[in-house]
Amino acid sequence: MEKIIIEPVWFDSLGAKSSCTLVKTPDVKILIDPGIAAMQPSFPASDAKKRQWREEGRKAIKKASKEADVIIISHYHYDHYFPTDLSIYKDKWVFAKNPNEYINDSQRARATSFYSGICETYGKTNLESLMKMKTKGRGKKYPDPLADLPIARHKDFGDYNKRRAELFEKGSKWFDARVANWQKNPVIPEFNFPSLKIIYPEGKAFKFGKTSLRFSKPLFHGIEFSRVGWVFYTIVEHENEKCIHSSDLNGPVIEDYAQQIIHENPQVLILDGPMTYMFGYLLNRINLNRAVENAAEIVRSIDAEMIFYDHHLPRERKFRERTEKVWSTAKKSKKKVMTVAEFLGQESVVLSPVSN
């Protein structure tokens, strides 16, 4: 691309959990998911190294935030936003995950704390007083999320179908309980303070000159009815150029989400992978295979100049082996698929002797 410039700020392959990306167009500079977290206890490095990489990443993200006009927060996990260092949001347009719906309980609590700090810092007021003004009209109905997933819903998994039906039934009950919370909780409003504007953008589009920012509807963070919650992905377009930052679709593990990306056909795709370090625990063989097949189909189908395949993946040493089909498909299709570390001419730290 000539008009859209992609600058990966920090990703997992550099040693700390993040998918922070700076996207520049002739009209606007956009920082996506400015958050960072230290690697999990099983990561093969010392605690000192993990803290070092997290601090290096935090500094890189803060530096990038000074360039940005717009900040995007796809969801409220700490590797996707700064919860307490609120200075990075000053004088920005912030497009953030709606904290009032399609959100699990823990992220709602995090969002409430975050916006309390935003109100005190930028509005010289308290969130509670603003929420009390927004408690009417809470009778919204929410459709079955599976209705928007016809491919995944009807996919045949053989012997796993019975277990999957049980999980869908449990998931539906969990979803109904979340809906009850969304309907009774006071609404956290959007904000338009003198030095900060916050908008909830799911399913909407915005223009900055010739640059378009489009946002997906809320999507599951992983499998159907994932208890981790929902995210959105971001599309940046300028004239005939397009990039997508997928956020945390975990592969994507859901076939319908893969088809959405294929339909968009971006020149640059920032794609997170399955959490292979959770294989055998929170990730089973069926869903790992789904994520790998979906990513391989994306690689085959889109006319991408570059696919960054990084977030979640480089957290354990077998990540390439467990996603081998994606890499071999890229080679056969003559597509550039690489981690951010590789893009920068480095080796993913998980593959290096970095324990000390």
pLDDT digits (tens, 9 = 90+) for 9-26: 999 999 999 999 999 999
| pLDDT confidence tier of residue 140, bands split at 50, 70 and 90 | confident
Average pLDDT over residues 57-61: 98
Contact 284, 317 (CB under 8 A): no
Query: Which of 134, 107, 137 shows the shortest CA–CA distance to 232?
Result: 107
Q: What pLDDT, on a 0 to 100 scale, did the predictor assign at position 222? A: 97
Question: Within 10 A of 342 (CB to CB), how many other CB atoms are there?
Answer: 17
- Token pair listed for 185: 């909780």
User: Percent of the chain at pLDDT above 70?
Assistant: 97
Q: What is the rounded average pLDDT of the residues 77-106? A: 98
* CATH number of the domain within which 92 lies: 3.60.15.10
Residue range of the domain that includes 89: 5-351
List pLDDT tens digits, range 212-228. Answer: 999 999 999 999 999 99
Whole-angstrom distance, CA of residue 32 vs CA of residue 103:
19
CA separation for the pair 268, 270 (Å, rounded):
7
What is the predicted pLDDT for the residue at 355?
Answer: 53
- How far is the C-alpha of 82 from the C-alpha of 61, rounded, in Å? 10
Q: Give pLDDT, residue 139.
A: 74
From the list 185, 186, 180, 108, the residue with the least C-alpha distance to 142 is 180
pLDDT at 137: 54
Question: Around Cβ 100, how many Cβ atoms within 10 Å?
Answer: 21
Q: Specify if 356 maps to a domain.
A: no
Give the whole-angstrom CA distance, residue 104 versus residue 190. Answer: 19
Instruction: Give the DSSP letter string of 90-129.
Output: TTEEEEE--TTSS--HHHHHHHHHHHHHHIIIIISS-HHH
Establish if 163 belongs to a structural domain: yes
Average pLDDT over residues 1-13: 97
Average pLDDT over residues 109-134: 93
Joined together, the tokens standing for residue 4 give 């859209």
Q: Which run of H or E residues covers position 71? A: strand 70-73
Q: What is the C-alpha to C-alpha distance for residues 80 and 97, in angstroms, rounded to an integer?
A: 11
Q: Can you tell me which residue has the tokens 């789904």?
A: 290
The pLDDT value recorded for residue 207 is 98
d(C-alpha 203, C-alpha 89), whole Å: 23
- Does residue 76 lie within any of the structural domains? yes
Average pLDDT, stretch 326-342?
98
Mean pLDDT of the chain: 96
- pLDDT value at position 156? 96
Residue 134 has pLDDT above 70, yes or no: no
Is 149 contained in some domain?
yes
- How many domains does the chain divide into? 1
- The more confidently predicted of residues 137 and 237 is 237
pLDDT score at 181: 94
Confidence of residue 53 (pLDDT cuts 50, 70, 90): very high
Task: Please choose, from the candidates 325, 334, 328, the residue with its C-alpha nearest in 3D space to the C-alpha of residue 302.
Answer: 334
Q: In the prediction, which pLDDT does 9 show?
A: 98
Q: What is the pTM of this model?
A: 0.97
Q: Confidence band (pLDDT; 50, 70, 90) for 132?
A: confident
